[in-house]
Amino acid sequence: MEFSEHIKTANVEDVVLRRPFHPPMQGTLCVTGHHLLFSNRDGDSSRLVLLLLRNIDAIEKSVENLLGYSSLFSSTGQSQRPSVSSGTITLKCKDLCVLQLDIPGMEECLNIARSIEYLSSLDIVSDMYPFFYRPLKLSLQDQWGLSSPEQNYAQMEELQDRWRLSHVNKDYSVCPSYPPAVIVPHSIDDETLVKVAKFRQGGRFPVLCYYHRKNGMVIMRSSQPLTGANRKRCREDELLLQAVIDGSGLGYIIDTRSNQQAQQARMTGGGFESKSSYSCWKRLHRQLERGKVLQESLIKLVEACGDHSHSVDRWLSKLENSKWLSHVHTALATAGLLAECVERDGHSVLVHGSEGTDATLLVSSLAQLILDPNTRTLDGFLGLLEREWLLAGHPFQHRCAHSAYSHARLRLEAPVFVLLLDCVWQLARQFPLAMGFSEPLLLRLAREVYASDYGTFLCNSDQERCAAGVKERTHCLFQFLLKPSEREHYSNPLYEPTELAIWPSIQPQSLQLWRGLFLRWTQHAVHLEKAQEELRNLVIECRGAS
């Protein structure tokens, strides 16, 4: 495809760029297939600002010589505009930054706006920037991804007598959103798995996602069973679950929907594991919001953070109204419950909601962070994300198509992954020594998941990634983050490994708004960031000396 046909005006001189923390800059604006390029030549030094078009969530334009028209679109804080025909474009980015471009010439302004609108929302995967990103220091021959299901399995020797690696999904035919290999009970053969898959939504049959070394208990995840209105049963499904708790005799099912929602799901063919068919399993319902509700919550939160009114009451009521912290609370509480079932109560747990690709992954990965020290290192955490989000089939492309500013009609967007990062941040804040990675890593991930130079978060599943050639034709973010040059920056200098579970406090008083993400672009954030950086250096210095 040719991007150039969508670029009517490629260059404009004398554009003024306004962005947080910097004085306005005058220079040349250039539109390319994937970037906005702003360069400013000030004497000998020249500065370059590069903005990935994919990062743009919403664009607002106002043109000066269309009277009446301009006031409709005028955004706040622009008082003095050039007098002749000109326009202003406000770019609201997915990393929550807001930029403004004052462009001389109405025609140029509209052309550029049109290009941005089109090029920022490409939806063919192979057109996206990761397929064009070719930095000198990275090679496409480098390993893509950190580990494979095979490697993961091989590393966990202690589970191998009761659990096996099944390749039943090797051509993605049994479950399109699963990886080619999954871990299942030894006694369950592939034929049975195929039947179970037919009984679970999207073919997501129960698979192992965590083995608790201390007591041999496991966390399984799946999608909802398709019991439907007439309470269909599936022998094989029951067998599989029975095999999971073989020996211990009891298990918990954490359903991430309310009891009522689960009941209602039966009307549309879904359902839940009934007491009569799964007598050894105890269901616990914990309602986690997903989809539209979560997206709207993020939109409201970002809106609240952008409101610089001085009323404390208004701020608190907007924060409350966004419900974001409630979602954080529920996610952590449910993960805590899950971890508690495994660690303190000593039972295996199956977790699912309806599709098993959102709240399910959120809860299971948070529980692993609570329980498993190996997931709290930098490598371990990225490995967890790879296993529990990328390979497990969280539909990133659908969920992260748009962020909080977009005016586009919501379809499948939901900030589940951002919610995960927020919860992880809360954990790291409560246990500052327990995590091997730092807040900048979480912030970086929050940015990359929406717009990236790397192919890691492209597509919705492993299958799609393979089909699109992501692994051959793009670079892997996780591999990059683990390079020695980057590793330093994303490690936590205070890290002191602990074998213990980290039980977070989930009292509302213990939860905080993630300022680093949501208030990042307020003036105040600068010196806090600076202080953090200096503190970090101090700690590193101390460590180096000892």
Query: What part of residues 237-266 is at the interface with other proteins (CB under 8 A)?
Result: 248-250, 252
Q: What string of H, E and C letters represents the secondary structure of 111-176?
A: HHHHHHHHHCCCCCHHHCHHHCCCCCCCCCCCCCCCCCHHHHHHHCHHHCCCEEEECCCCCCCCCC
> Which part of the chain contacts other proteins (CB under 8 A), choosing from 165-173, 350-358, 384-392, 538-546?
538-546
Q: Which of 37, 239, 519, 540 binds other proteins (CB under 8 A)?
A: 519
* Residue 526 makes contact with other proteins by CB under 8 A: no
Count of residues in contact with other proteins, rule CB under 8 A = 76
Q: Is the dihedral of CA 485, 486, 487, 491 positive or negative?
A: positive
The least distance separating other proteins from the CB of residue 369, rounded to whole angstroms, comes to 13
Instruction: Return the SS3 of 211.
Output: strand
User: Which one of the spans 161-169, 303-311, 403-411, 479-487 is the region binding other proteins (CB under 8 A)?
Assistant: 303-311
Spatial strand order of the sheet with 251-255 comes to 207-212, 217-221, 348-352, 251-255, 281-285
> Does 344 interact with other proteins (rule: CB under 8 A)?
yes
Interface pattern 193-232 for other proteins (x via CB under 8 A): ----------------------------------------
Nearer to other proteins among residue 113 and residue 446 (C-beta): 446
274 binds other proteins (CB under 8 A): no
User: By CB under 8 A, is residue 415 in contact with other proteins?
Assistant: no
Residue from 1, 84, 267, 542 touching other proteins (CB under 8 A): that is 542
Q: Is 99 helix (H, G, I), strand (E, B) or coil?
A: strand
Minimum CB distance to other proteins smaller for 30 or for 367: 367
Q: Which stretch binds other proteins (CB under 8 A): 132-140, 232-240, 315-323, 445-453?
A: 315-323
- Kindly state whether residue 409 participates in binding other proteins, applying the rule CB under 8 A: no
Site string for other proteins, 484-503 (x = CB under 8 A): ----------x-x-x-xxxx
The burial class, CB within 10 Å (0-12 / 13-18 / 19+), for 162 is middle
Candidates 151, 191, 311, 467: give the one binding other proteins (CB under 8 A).
311
353 binds other proteins (CB under 8 A): no
Span interacting with other proteins, options 13-21, 140-148, 465-473, 536-544, rule CB under 8 A: 536-544
Token pair of 287 as six digits: 């309602």
CB of 418 to other proteins, least distance (A): 17
Token digits of residue 42: 């000030």
Q: Which of 2, 44, 157, 313 binds other proteins (CB under 8 A)?
A: 313
Minimum separation from the CB atom of position 443 to other proteins (A): 14
Cβ atoms of 39 and 47 within 8 Å: the answer is yes
Q: Does 24 bind other proteins (CB under 8 A)?
A: no
Residues 139-168 that bind other proteins (CB under 8 A): none
293 contributes a contact to other proteins by CB under 8 A: no
* DSSP H helical ranges for 372-415: 378-385, 396-399
Query: Using alpha carbons only, what angle is made at residue 50 by residues 46 and 54, rounded to the nearest 5 degrees?
Result: 170
- Dihedrals phi, psi of 358, to nearest 5 degrees: -125, -90
Residue 511's Cβ-count burial label (10 Å; 0-12, 13-18, 19+) is buried
Touching other proteins, residues 427-466 (CB under 8 A): 428-434, 439
Q: What minimum distance in Å lies between the beta carbon of 147 and other proteins?
A: 27
Sheet holding 45-52, edge to edge: 45-52, 35-42, 25-31, 11-18, 98-104, 86-93, 56-63
H/E stretch holding 291: helix 291-306
- Binding span for other proteins by CB under 8 A among 89-97, 103-111, 181-189, 320-328: 320-328
State yes or no: residue 315 binds other proteins (CB under 8 A): yes
Which of these, 88, 81, 118, 116, lies nearest to 102 by C-alpha position?
88
Give me the least distance between CB of 163 and other proteins, in Å please. 21
Min dist. Cβ of residue 509 to other proteins (A): 5
**CB-nearer residue toward other proteins: 154 or 500:** 500
- Footprint of other proteins on 54-93 (CB under 8 A): none
Q: What is the dihedral of CA 272, 274, 280, 285, to 10 degrees?
A: 50
**Spatial separation of the C-alpha atoms in residues 532 and 529, rounded to whole Å:** 5
Q: Are 54 and 129 in contact (CB under 8 A)?
A: yes
Q: Is 276 in the site for other proteins (CB under 8 A)?
A: no
